[in-house]
Amino acid sequence: MQERNKQMDVLLCLGMILVVLGHVGTNSWKTELFDWFVIYSFHMPLFFFISGYFYKPEREKKYGNTVLRLIKKFVLPYYIWNLFYAVIVFALKNAELVRFNLNPSISNFFITPWTTGDQYQLNSPAWFLLTLFLVEFVYLSLHKLFSFLKLKNEYLLLPLFLGMGIAGGGMMVYGAAKGNMLILVKLLYAIFFYHLGHLYKEKLEKFDRLNNLAYFGILFVIQYFLMVKTNGFPYISMWNGSITTMGKNVFLPVAVALTGIAFALRVSKILTPSFGDSTMVKKISTSTKTIMIHHYAVIVFFNVGLSLLYRAGIPLKNFDPGWVSVLYKYPGPHNHTELFSLVYIVLCFAVPIGGSVLFGKMKNIVVGKLRQVCK
């Protein structure tokens, strides 16, 4: 059995923490570091980079089986949970426990997941699964074609994928990421980072030996000039193709994502000796799909629970009974949002992971019983 890559485990864990922090609200965790490396400028490209790192060209030999595996891994689980959340969210709405806008159309169930992915809001972050499916499918197909054409040098393929990434980022900058075009935009932007992850694994990782002082020194100098040039870093909402930029710089979305990935990559390398064998890190890194699908819903379910307590007459100081946003955060009875947000953060990790473990145990029990009956 192949040993897990401990640094990638740590990097996945860091990426997942950034996603949850972004959704819980980084205003509560404002630091100078987040001014230099804005979470929303690189955290989603980071996941595509990591996914590309694990790309295996030998899968091209079993192209059909690989495509089926991708469908089973990403598309089928998405729609199963999409149906589950469709039932849950409309039940909550009919009970007047949630007030955000919802569209029950068939199109919203089947088509919206491929565009903005916010059809039921509770599972909005799961848009990443379908976009990753498209990226892996298209990359697999292109890589198989290039291999057939005897173009196997990953460096030679880099300009092509870089051009695709710049095109996708440029379309966001110029507001072209609308409707069905959003599918293409996310694919173009993400596939560059996927290739970069594969290139790093195959060619670049062995050269990543620069000492930390020089590495961070160069990186922060580059980041400083990007900040001066743009007068502030962009906030990239990749899920809906929107981007806050200073000017029409089509290179900016790729540039700031590259520096952010470089920063996270070196931080993970530094942390690996201390946390690479951590059980918690392994559990989070192996549960990223589960956390990505469910952590938004955990926020809403917790707020629904608070609403029921409030309706029952239990005093919850500072609680807003008329909350209408899926991302509403109760600031706590003492109005210390930065402290009470820890509750949300812990729940966003603990509930999906705990639920997955419980489901696995129940599944094993059921399978065991069925085997006994069949004997």
| Percent of the chain clearing pLDDT 90 (strictly above) | 61
- Average pLDDT on 284-300 reads 94
Whole-angstrom distance, CA of residue 110 vs CA of residue 184: 17
Does residue 223 have a pLDDT over 70?
yes
Looking at residue 27, what is its pLDDT?
54
Q: Tell me which of 235 and 171 has the higher pLDDT.
A: 171
Q: pLDDT-based confidence at 187, cuts 50/70/90?
A: very high
State pTM to two decimals: 0.93
Looking at residue 184, what is its pLDDT?
96
Q: Which of 17, 69, 24 is nearest to 46 (CA)?
A: 17
Q: pLDDT-based confidence at 232, cuts 50/70/90?
A: low
pLDDT tens-digit series, residues 324-375:
888 888 999 888 887 888 999 999 999 999 998 888 888 788 777 777 777 6
Does residue 142 have a pLDDT over 90?
yes
Looking at residue 327, what is its pLDDT?
82
Does residue 264 have a pLDDT over 90?
yes
Whole-angstrom distance, CA of residue 308 vs CA of residue 304: 6
Does residue 17 have a pLDDT over 60?
yes
- Stated length of the chain: 375
- Average pLDDT on 181-210 reads 96
Looking at residue 30, what is its pLDDT?
56
Residues 6 or more apart whose Cβ sits within 8 Å of residue 266: 212, 215, 216, 219
pLDDT tens-digit series, residues 23-56:
887 555 556 667 788 888 899 999 999 999 999 9
Q: Are 334 and 273 in contact (CB under 8 A)?
A: no
Q: Which of 101, 30, 83, 51 is nearest to 285 (CA)?
A: 51
- Both tokens of residue 126? 């799961």
Looking at residue 31, what is its pLDDT?
61
Does residue 189 have a pLDDT over 90?
yes
Whole-angstrom distance, CA of residue 14 vs CA of residue 132: 19
pLDDT tens-digit series, residues 48-101:
999 999 999 999 999 999 999 999 999 999 999 999 998 998 888 888 888 877
Looking at residue 311, what is its pLDDT?
92
Looking at residue 61, what is its pLDDT?
93
Looking at residue 280, what is its pLDDT?
94
What single string gives the DSSP state of each residue in 262-299? HHHHHHHHHHHHHHTT-HHHHHHHTTHHHHHHHHHHHH
Looking at residue 289, what is its pLDDT?
94
Does residue 3 have a pLDDT over 90?
no
Q: Are 23 and 296 in contact (CB under 8 A)?
A: yes
Q: pLDDT-based confidence at 121, cuts 50/70/90?
A: confident
Average pLDDT over the chain, rounded to an integer: 90
- Average pLDDT on 125-143 reads 96
Q: Are 129 and 78 in contact (CB under 8 A)?
A: yes
Q: Measured in whole angstroms, how far is the alpha carbon of residue 179 from the centre of its chain?
A: 21
The answer to whether the Cα torsion of 152, 155, 161, 163 is positive or negative is: negative
Looking at residue 2, what is its pLDDT?
59
